[in-house]
Amino acid sequence: MNNRTTTAASARPSTLGALGSRSMRVPLTIAAVAILFLVGAVAPTRLAGDFVLRLGNEGLLLGMLALSVAFLMSQAGLVALGAASIYGGTGLLFAIALGEWNLTPMAAMCVSFLIIVVYATILGALIVRTNPLAFMMLTLAAGEMISHGVLLEALRDYTGGADGLVVRFKGSIFGMDSADFADPARFWLVAWVAAWLAGLALWAIGRSRLGAVLRAVRENEERMRFSGFDTYLPRLTAYVLVNIVAAVAGLLHVLNAGFVSPESLGLSVSINALVAALMGGIAGSVGPILGGLIFSFAQDEFGARGLTQLLTGFAIVLFIVVFPRGVVGGLWSAVQARAFGGRRETS
Amino acid sequence: MIALLIANSLALASLLIMLASGLALIYGLRDVINFGHGAIYMLGAYLGYTVALVGGFWLALIVVPILLALLGIAFEYLALRPLQNRSHIEVALVTLGLGIILGQIIIYFYGGVARSVDAPHILSGSVTVLNLSYPVYRIFLIVMGLGSCALLALWLRFTPSGLYVRAVSQDPSVARMMGINADRLSLLVTSLSAAFAGVAGVLAGPYLSIDPGMDVTMIVDCLIIVVIGGTGSIGGAIVAALLFGLVQVAGSVFLPNIASLVPYILLMVVLLVAPRGIGRGRVLN
């Protein structure tokens, strides 16, 4: 039921634009979004069982990861296939910082976050100057490098090798202890707020000057360079920003699960994030997060029969070839077409 | 020791050349990196396993490339042509999706266990060359790899269709203006590239193990090679494959602890020194 309310809200501005007067539009939209935020934060914890909430939590985190992939795709035209190495890598670093370096939870969080951001900056500095296709190959290679590196025999004492690491911390992070994070209903609130913050932040960045420059570079890099714009720094900034979102999602994941497995760094998680982004629609912030939720529930449906990977493969082809705008984009244009009496082109 | 090292790296490079040059060929014509190439190679290996069980290794080496060439034709007609007006990134993603589907279908039929193929009788055992004993099969692999590499070079250099392929790879729009039919060439190149992947798959059987993860491993290696070689440059890809094979083998001998990371380190170093790779690849758009 949460899915339905989210899509309705995304469609709302256009219907209001057609029906209401212009001066009423902005306050009404803000009110609608605020109501949606509050309802979404409280209602699932009251109405849904633990199992559904767990799926929802995973969906929101995957949605945040999808958001980071989608932002880079829609704004910069770059497809990253290594999102999981950031997502799982932050979690793994957090576990190591807690267990090996004996840091307090808060310090461990800051340290792991910092290391990942530095790594993302260095990697980004190397690869964002390449063309989009090479970027895709390089992110894939870098992601595989990290996920192989974690499994190295020499690092086994640190990373736990193929067994992964259990994360138990004493004390609290932002007033929550480890039992709070493991509780599906409480964690839903955390994940819901985090997903909204990430969504709003990336939405705002997309509408800022940085977003405009990124889209212009995506369309024609040479023209932008010729016009005197720096085309390198904006792309690097965007790359680091989306990886911050991925790192936050990774931290939340490990806090919730209490465990980090090497699979969470693997290619399949990166591809799941890509599929979630494509499912929801890469333009905007609602699509990827909704896509994450859809994927999480679909994975539960198909995963039991071992069809998850097949599902992802079909979803990539289907959503690129047939529904390139994803669920949210498709619904939005359908609503728009009805509001404007079908006169406006949907594409 | 050094001779053995070089021979081993040549054997590995032989497989990689066949796959990476196939990738580079399609890229040259269509500007698309085929992320499903690893799955095609895996299909070649598994089909090779089946055919070898029924009719022996040599039959597999003939039948499988033909079957995969047909798959390549289907790929061209069903995926590349209908999507040729879409952005190259989208097509690359579609190939990624198709590769995942193909991989899953293979796993569905063959299960998740590793298989192995025995080398045919003449190629099993080893010979002594210059006081060094070396497996015959690896020599055969090197001969096949370098041989197909030479055939490819001869085709590109001395035949009209090879000339056209080079022309389109260098400048697609001018080549089209001169009346070259890129669609027909693409059909040829796609089926050729799939057939090469099939040969590589069959050859990989007795050399490496056949397992469900082989597609991802191979495609990642090939992508590294294609980037190092300079995207779209076939000569660059061949040189890069040789370099990659050497680094991989030397890494596993001298740095066994981090051997699996050595290719990535190579990639990063090349990117730092020469961001466009060692060959003069065409810059995308």
Each residue of A234-266: pLDDT tens digit?
Answer: 999 999 999 999 999 999 998 888 888 888 888
Give per-residue pLDDT as tens, B69-94. Answer: 999 999 989 888 888 888 888 888 89
Q: Which domains does chain A have, with CATH numbers?
A: 2-339 (1.10.3470)
Residue B64, C-beta contacts closer than 8 angstroms, at least 6 positions apart: B44, B47, B48, B51, B198, B199, B201, B202
Residue B192 counted as domain residue? yes
Residue B54 counted as domain residue? yes
Looking at residue A38, its pLDDT comes to 83
Residue B171: pLDDT over 60: yes
Residue A10, C-beta contacts closer than 8 angstroms, at least 6 positions apart: A284, A286, A287, A328, A331, A332
Looking at residue B73, its pLDDT comes to 92
Residue B104: closest C-alpha in chain A = A310
Among B26, B30, B34, B104, the strongest candidate for a mutation testing the A interface, having the largest count of A CBs within 10 A, is: B104
For the entire predicted model, the pTM comes to 0.84
- Number of structural domains found in chain B: 1
- pLDDT-derived band at A347, boundaries 50, 70, 90: very low
**What dihedral angle (degrees, nearest 10) is formed by the CA atoms of A80, A82, A84, A85?**
-140
Give per-residue pLDDT as tens, B174-200. Answer: 888 888 887 888 899 999 999 999 999
Query: If you average pLDDT over each of A45-54, A115-124, A130-139, B276-285, which comes out highest?
Result: A115-124
Q: How many CB atoms lie within 10 A of CB A244?
A: 18
Residue B73 counted as domain residue? yes
Looking at residue A244, its pLDDT comes to 94
- B255 reaches A (C-beta below 8 A): no
8 Å CB contact of B97 and A140: no
Residue B264 counted as domain residue? yes
Reported ipTM: the value is 0.81
Give B187's Cβ-side CA count (13 Å radius). 9
Contacts 24+ apart (CB under 8 A), A209-212: A210/A234, A210/A237, A210/A238, A211/A75
Residue B278 counted as domain residue? no
Cα separation of B54 and A189, whole Å?
Answer: 60
Q: What CATH number corresponds to the domain at position B73?
A: 1.10.3470
Out of A54-58, B83-87, B117-121, which region has the weakest mean confidence (pLDDT)?
B117-121
Give per-residue pLDDT as tens, B208-228. Answer: 878 888 888 888 888 888 888
Q: How many CB atoms lie within 10 A of CB B154?
A: 11
Q: What's the alpha-carbon Rg for chain A, to the nearest Å?
A: 20
Out of A2-6, A188-192, B243-247, B258-262, which region has the weakest mean confidence (pLDDT)?
A2-6
> Under the phi-then-psi rule, with left for phi > 0, alpha for psi from -120 to 50, and beta for the rest, what region is B80?
alpha
Beta-strand pair B126-129/B132-135: antiparallel
Identify which of B94, B223, B261 has the shortest CB distance to residue A321: B94
For residues A59-74, average pLDDT: 92
Considering only residues A119 and A343, tell me which one the structure prediction assigns the higher pLDDT.
Answer: A119
> Under the phi-then-psi rule, with left for phi > 0, alpha for psi from -120 to 50, and beta for the rest, what region is A197?
alpha
Q: How far is B105 from chain A (nearest CA, A)?
A: 8
For residues A272-301, average pLDDT: 88
Considering only residues A337 and A18, tell me which one the structure prediction assigns the higher pLDDT.
Answer: A337
Cα separation of B137 and B4, whole Å?
Answer: 14
Residues of A in contact with B283 (CB under 8 A): 131
By the 8 A CB rule, do B99 and B37 touch?
yes
Q: How far is B179 from chain A (nearest CA, A)?
A: 28
The residue written with tokens 């069982």 in the block is A49
**Token pair listed for A143:** 């992601």
The residue written with tokens 């083998």 in the block is B249
Helix runs in A220-305, H state only: 221-226, 232-257, 267-280, 286-303
Residue B280 counted as domain residue? no
Q: How far is B263 from chain A (nearest CA, A)?
A: 9
Considering only residues A225 and B278, tell me which one the structure prediction assigns the higher pLDDT.
Answer: A225
Range of the domain at B50: 2-273
For residue A123, the one-letter residue type is L
- B99 reaches A (C-beta below 8 A): yes
- Strands (DSSP E) contained in chain B are 126-129, 132-135
Q: How far apart are the first and last CA of chain A?
A: 28
Which DSSP helix (H) or strand (E) runs through A32?
Answer: helix A22-47
Residues of A in contact with B98 (CB under 8 A): 313, 317
Residue B14 counted as domain residue? yes
Closest CA to A288 of A296, A299, A280, A297: A280
Q: How many CB atoms lie within 10 A of CB B227?
A: 27
The DSSP call for residue B133 is E
Residues of B in contact with A126 (CB under 8 A): 268, 271-272
For residues B33-56, average pLDDT: 90
Residues of B in contact with A310 (CB under 8 A): 100-101, 104-105
Among A75, A119, A145, A325, the strongest candidate for a mutation testing the B interface, having the largest count of B CBs within 10 A, is: A145
